A = this chain, B = another copy of it.
Amino acid sequence: MAGNTFGTLFRVTTWGESHGTALGAVIDGCPPGIDLTPEVIQQELERRRPGKGGATSPRQEPDKVEIMSGIFQPDGAACPKTTGTPISLVIFNKDAHSKSYSDLQEIFRPGHGDFSYQAKYGIRDHRGGGRASARETAARVAAGAVAKQLLNKYNISVLAYTVALGGIRAEERDLAVINENSLFCPDSAAAVRMEERIAEVREQGDTLGGIVEIRATCPAGLGEPVFDKLDGELARALMSIGAVKGVEIGAGFRAAVMLGSENNDPLTPDGFRSNNAGGILAGVSSGQELIMRVAVKPIPSIRKEQQTVNLRNEQVTIRVGGRHDISAIPRIIPVCEAMVRLVLADQLLRQQAMRGLQTF
């Protein structure tokens, strides 16, 4: 059973390979009557575009999205609206240089899915990583933009930013400055040092990892115990992004060294007095801000020489050329936001199915 559909009620199916004709997403379950234009999707795709930060490669992907179905502009409406039927989004691949990958046809790149995909499927579109390419996340971002339009109606907003890169940590959480540096870092001074570190490592032909933090406003009552708890769904959504190797909610791994009396968030008539829970109690949102962090591994495509094997299990060495970023950060940031939005849109409809709108 394949796994290219995300969500249960707000359901997104993505398709497409890195160097195929196109990639896309079909959203089934978006309620009718939501404003939707290509422009609002395009805006999110722009945030994922390369060249947005010092860590990114010079490849220029226009990534122009087309809405093939699911919207209709009634007479007198200011803009098209969703109709409750499936929304098909297509992004044609225009900048696909298959040739630069032909020498990788027989070699398993370390840290990539080449080896495991071959084991699983017995056949593999090797061009640019095929389906396993980070390019796949463009479809996620496009679908997330549709979820954003729905969440706006419920005043739910999601924001991701860089809190560590290449070993340098943001000490501040000044959200006002995250759009003032190319790494979307809430600590301007740290951002400067991160950029310096990137330049240094680029020189060496190596790559860097980091940590992204995500916050979201969220009404109380979302999450479906005992298996589809909100934290579980968020963990899955974020861990399904290629570069992510860890997810934590609220205090996260720090909770492992706290006492119960420190970790519990006391309640007062004015609300919670702390937020170690990250806005989730027993898998259900408490109405506090959701807080989560993801560990992003360094990009596996490096110019340095590496040891690996080929299809015939012979020892070979490889240097991965082509246009590659130094870090998945910052381009992973809109992807994290998109995945959190997809989870929240889905959980919102799930709660609405059970309770109607009265709890929000």
Query: Please, which residues of chain B bring their CB within 8 A of the CB of A353?
Result: 1, 9, 29, 349-350, 352-353
A151 interface residue per 8 A CB criterion: no
One digit per residue, 1 when the CB lies within 8 angstroms of any chain B CB and 0 when it does not, for chain A 115-153 equals 111011111110000111000100000000000000000
Do residues A225 and B15 form an inter-chain contact, with CB atoms below 8 A? no
A334 interface residue per 8 A CB criterion: no
Residue of B nearest to A327 (CB): B260
Query: Please, which residues of chain B bring their CB within 8 A of the CB of A235?
Result: 232, 235-236, 238-239, 247
Chain A facing B: main interface SS: mixed
One digit per residue, 1 when the CB lies within 8 angstroms of any chain B CB and 0 when it does not, for chain A 199-211 equals 0010000111111
Query: Please, which residues of chain B bring their CB within 8 A of the CB of A240?
Result: 226-229, 231-232, 283
A170 interface residue per 8 A CB criterion: no
Query: Please, which residues of chain B bring their CB within 8 A of the CB of A9?
Result: 1-2, 353
Given known A264-B110, A267-B308, contact A4–B28 (CB-CB < 8 A): yes
Do residues B136 and A226 form an inter-chain contact, with CB atoms below 8 A? yes
Do residues B315 and A72 form an inter-chain contact, with CB atoms below 8 A? no
Residue of B nearest to A15 (CB): B86
Do residues A295 and B252 form an inter-chain contact, with CB atoms below 8 A? yes
A237 interface residue per 8 A CB criterion: yes
User: A233–B239 Cα gap in the complex (Å)?
Assistant: 8
Query: Please, which residues of chain B bring their CB within 8 A of the CB of A100?
Result: none
Do residues A313 and B269 form an inter-chain contact, with CB atoms below 8 A? yes
A-B pairs, top 4 by smallest CB distance, nearest first, are: A113-B282, A3-B228, A3-B224, A246-B248
One digit per residue, 1 when the CB lies within 8 angstroms of any chain B CB and 0 when it does not, for chain A 61-75 equals 000001011101011
